[in-house]
Amino acid sequence: MGHLLMVESWVGSMSTLLPAGIRDGGHRFSFLTRDLGHYLRGKPATHPLLDAANIVTAETNDEATLVRYVRNLHEVLGFDGVLSSCDYYLPNVAAIAADLGLPGPSREAVAAACHKHRTRTLCRAAGVPGPAFAVAESPDESARAARHLGYPLVVKPVDLCGGMYVRRVDDEEELRAAVERITGFPVNARGQVRAPQILLEECLDGPEFSVETVTVRGRTTVVGVTDKRLTGAPAFIEAGHMFPAALGPGEQAAVSAVARSAIAALGLDDTVAHTEIKWTADGPRLIEVNPRPAGNRITELVRRVTGIDLAAVHAEVAAGGIPDLTPRPTGTGSAAIAFAVADRAGVLTAISGAEPWAGDPRVVEHTLAEPGTRVRIATDNNTYLGHVMVVDERPGTAGALASGLIDDLAVAVSS
């Protein structure tokens, strides 16, 4: 049994799934955060993060200070690995691992994956197929780059997550508005000063997929491919996922090859990764590489179909182990999740239409916001009104089932 140090966490599903995966893998963890209240506001007292062997409060936003602090902490508590589910702290985690001689990817590789413009540059140099792109740091520089690339474009911050401030723009007026929104958010939700760069990309048309991989000792294993349903244009909001994606063998191999190439180009090793790819008229094109397990409960879809718990695998890899990635029969051919996405602002008065879910054996998980919830129009993946997860013994069917259940809901919002 290993003792892992968890440095911060997302507050969504991974704040539950990762502690459970650590425990299910036979490990224990200590939790290090700069603000424990960030995780407990509005949460029950039995939050899984409170199951930590130790809870320590220290500054986690200053890497040099954090590394020195953990070095001293390690002498007292003794860690076998260090990990996080939160992208904003993955470079710090890698720096700690290197300092203590613990397993994990290099800080340089993780930082490159967590900064989208660096991912683009390294992957283009390695020949990984992706969109044409440019990097800018001001509205005027963005406008010049856009004129060179041509519209439509996708504009995004280089260091935010969950689709925050990612927009399609069709002209210079929309571009300036998008850039103003990004530059008007100079500090992220964890109090970290953001990078000034803005990424402009050729707008790729086609369905989107993610490749779930595990890289250990230089070898990357593709656990499977997930399909993604997007909504909310000109934003790119994830409205649902199905695992495995309904792809033929050739398409799955091509998508997987792009993910492998991107991971190699970044130099990532000893990590779980979630790589997003679009299938265009010219074949698969890289969107981004996330050097941690997928969010939005995709890991639960994978587990229900394959028996492989990627949260537990993340813990095992961090502890220096070689995880068993052999799929096991589960009786489930496909699993899917769909999200209720708000299209108007106000106060939620009721959600109806979910009454039959409790008696539907296909529905394995669901949650909906309570009346009285303040609702804002969804612009990213952080504002869902709820979700439903379904399983089916047939491959390729769960996605339509889940989205159909969400589409049948009636959402009442008062202004």
Q: Looking at residue 409, which CATH number applies to its domain?
A: 3.30.470.20
- Mean pLDDT for 259-275 is 98
One domain for residues 152 and 218: no
Lowest mean pLDDT among 42-51, 214-223, 346-355, 406-415: 42-51
Which one of 296, 330, 364 terminates a domain?
330
At residue 40, the pLDDT reads 82
Rounded to whole angstroms, how far apart are CA atoms 105 and 291? 9
232 is a domain residue: yes
At residue 208, the pLDDT reads 98
At residue 415, the pLDDT reads 83
At residue 1, the pLDDT reads 82
Q: Is the pLDDT of residue 277 over 70?
A: yes
Contact criterion met (CB below 8 Å) for 37 and 13: no
At residue 50, the pLDDT reads 87
Interior/surface letters 292-329, b for 16+ CB within 10 angstroms, e for the rest = bbbbbbbbbbbbbbbebbbbbbbbbbbbebebeeeeee
pTM over 0.85: yes
The amino acid sitting at 185 is: F
Contact criterion met (CB below 8 Å) for 317 and 262: no
Structure token pair of residue 130: 């992706």
At residue 47, the pLDDT reads 81
Rounded to whole angstroms, how far apart are CA atoms 312 and 316? 6
Which one of 288, 308, 330 terminates a domain?
330
- DSSP letters for 251-312: HHHHHHHHHHHHHHHHT--SEEEEEEEEEETTEEEEEEEESS--STTHHHHHHHHHS--HHH
Q: Is the pLDDT of residue 43 over 80?
A: no
Provide the domain count of the chain. Answer: 4
122 is a domain residue: no
117 is a domain residue: no
Confidence band, pLDDT 50/70/90 cuts, at residue 182: very high
Strand partners, 380: none
107 is a domain residue: no
Strand partners, 352: 410
Q: Is the pLDDT of residue 45 over 70?
A: no
Rounded to whole angstroms, how far apart are CA atoms 76 and 28? 16
Rounded to whole angstroms, how far apart are CA atoms 278 and 281? 10
- C-alpha distances (whole Å) from 152 to each of 143, 205, 274 are 13, 11, 26
One domain for residues 46 and 146: no
Question: What would you report as the CA-atom Rg of the chain, rounded to the nearest whole angstrom?
Answer: 21
Domain that holds residue 147: 131-202
123 is a domain residue: no
Mean pLDDT score of the chain: 96
- Mean pLDDT for 329-351 is 96
Rounded to whole angstroms, how far apart are CA atoms 186 and 86? 19
- Residue 193 gets which letter from DSSP? B
